[in-house]
Amino acid sequence: MLTQIQHLAQSIAEQVVAHRRHLHTYPELSFWEFQTAAYIAQELTHMGLAPQKMATTGVVALIEGRHPEKKTVALRADIDALPIKEMNEVPYKSVHEGVMHACGHDAHTASLLGTAYILQQLRHEFEGTVKLIFQPGEEKIPGGASLMIQEGVLQNPAPSHIIGQHVMPQLPVGKIGFREGMYMASTDELYIRIVGKGGHAAMPDRLIDPVYIAAHLVVSLQQVVSRMAPPRIPSVLSVGRFIAEGITNVIPNEVFLQGTFRTMDEEWREEAHRRIGKLATELVSSMGGICEIEIRKGYPYLINNPALTARMRHAAQAYVGKDNVVALDLWMAGEDFAFYTQHIPGCFYRLGTGNEARGIVSGVHTPTFDIDESALILGCGLMSWLAIEELKHA
């Protein structure tokens, strides 16, 4: 079966690359992936599948092997792009100004389309059902995964496990990365408005300077991580936006801050929200200002089920060789795949897409991000193999 999958993956290499280039050329932002969803549904229909729409732009399809009721395994790809202007000069450069597949979701989608083709060809040779989930809105709260779950994507049939794949430019093409247990962080957004009393910068004694207050708050908020967080729990608090619309001799009336809080423990996450709010309001009040704070709760932290991930690591070693399977570090980025792992055991692994010799080294979420497209052939073949191997597990 392994050799058969590898041969099938190689036979569709040109088509999978074509899928990826089409999607890269015509990217769409979160929850606006209408043409992307239509393209996916069209390709699945050509394979003889019956795709269904969910969460407006999500697409779901089933591949039924022998005894389809025996077990169901879900495979997930995200389909949305980012509001980034592409700087690559390639034939498949984005034609939508300011929108780019800078996180590899085009590769995830193309790879899963390739996987769909392989599994459809082999459906008489495995038992069980594979549920294909093409999910919108990974990049934007509340996350397409949460909406898909609300609409019943984990029912009818209910998958026992779910597997997700994500590109990783830091890993050379040909390498696969796994981590068991805690892997990625929860992601919450901070929005803070500090109101003071503006005026002439030469008369600070007559004012309540919100810029001065905000500067203190940015520094003081680091206490949440450095002095309040349990040392065993990874935590990050970053302020990425500081808007103070004064000028050289004018202090504004208000300042706006935006940032993120991330961690890997749900109990501490809730406590941290309380402490952030208390610290901000009390500090600003003590300096004469008024603080308005909103914490928008994002994705939960992502945990890879240890038993499932160990099985997937072992299966990957059989497919690509033990030396090509590496251990991943904790990563404080977020992923809405985490919502699935709150309901069923999941495994979220990394597909190496970097190629230093060819200059393919840019990180995700950058305007020069690209992939070594040979990774797509490995991606679709490996995911097919992992799905079939998991269907064998009782």
Residue 265's domain comprises 188-297
Look up the CATH number of the domain holding residue 85: 3.40.630.10
Same domain, 263 and 208: yes
Look at the chain and count its residues. 394
Looking at 250, 267, 297, the residue that finishes a domain is 297
* Catalytic residue annotation: 80, 138
Same domain, 162 and 283: no
Same domain, 194 and 264: yes
For each of the chain's 394 residues, which pLDDT tens digit applies? 899 999 999 999 999 999 999 999 999 999 999 999 999 999 999 999 999 999 889 999 999 999 999 999 999 999 999 999 999 999 999 999 999 999 999 999 999 999 999 999 999 999 999 999 999 999 999 999 999 999 999 999 999 999 999 999 999 999 999 999 999 999 999 999 999 999 999 999 999 999 999 999 999 999 999 999 999 999 999 999 999 999 999 999 999 999 999 999 999 999 999 999 999 999 999 999 999 999 999 999 999 999 999 999 999 999 999 999 999 999 999 999 999 999 999 999 999 999 999 999 999 999 999 999 999 999 999 999 999 999 999 7
CB atoms within 10 A of CB 361: 14
Total domains, the chain: 2
Q: What is the pTM of this model?
A: 0.93
Same domain, 22 and 134: yes
CB atoms within 10 A of CB 230: 11
Same domain, 194 and 208: yes
Q: Are 355 and 170 in contact (CB under 8 A)?
A: no
